[in-house]
Amino acid sequence: QVQLVESGGGLVQAGDSLRLSCAASGRRFSSYAVGWFRQAPGKEREFVASIPWTADYTYYSDSVKGRFTISRDNAKNTVYLQMNSLRPEDTAVYSCAAGVVATMRPGTYDYWGQGTQVTVSS
């Protein structure tokens, strides 16, 4: 069993940066892939980024590539999402999820956090 807790969200202006954290409990978290997803009001859940437990590659959606960076510290059971050059269209609830494989499909992840709100004003 893995429990995930996101933090780091908030209200920022366009162009600002935020770093989200996904803290996990569970002995085997370091062996899980982690994905970040977001959901804006009235929209479907959208893939943002993912990283395998080895952290030897990463995936990003086209909408965040070059602006967001996913990383992990297995010693701290934490995965980060550094978000730079934020835009109003990045406004959403951001959630992290843990699964066996780092994919872009939310259905492949087994454990989910509650999410943290990110609001970007213009």
Task: Catalogue the E-assigned strands of 66-115.
Answer: 68-73, 78-83, 92-99, 109-112
| 119's tokens | 């609001």
| 6's tokens | 């996101």
What is residue 28's predicted lDDT score, i.e. its pLDDT?
A: 81
- pLDDT > 70 in the chain, percent: 99
Residues in the chain: 122
Residue 11 confidence (pLDDT) above 80: yes
Confidence of residue 118 (pLDDT cuts 50, 70, 90): very high
| 24's tokens | 């996990």
Residue 85 confidence (pLDDT) above 90: yes
| 58's tokens | 């990463």
| 22's tokens | 């996904």
What is residue 21's predicted lDDT score, i.e. its pLDDT?
A: 98
pLDDT, tens digit, 9 for 90 and up, residues 45-82: 999 999 999 989 999 999 999 999 999 999 999 999 99
CA distances (Å), origin 57, targets 6, 14, 114: 22, 28, 26
What is residue 33's predicted lDDT score, i.e. its pLDDT?
A: 96
CA distances (Å), origin 59, targets 22, 25, 44, 88: 17, 24, 19, 22
Residue 27 confidence (pLDDT) above 80: no
What is residue 1's predicted lDDT score, i.e. its pLDDT?
A: 84
Per-residue HEC secondary structure of 73-86 comes to EHHHCEEEEEECCC
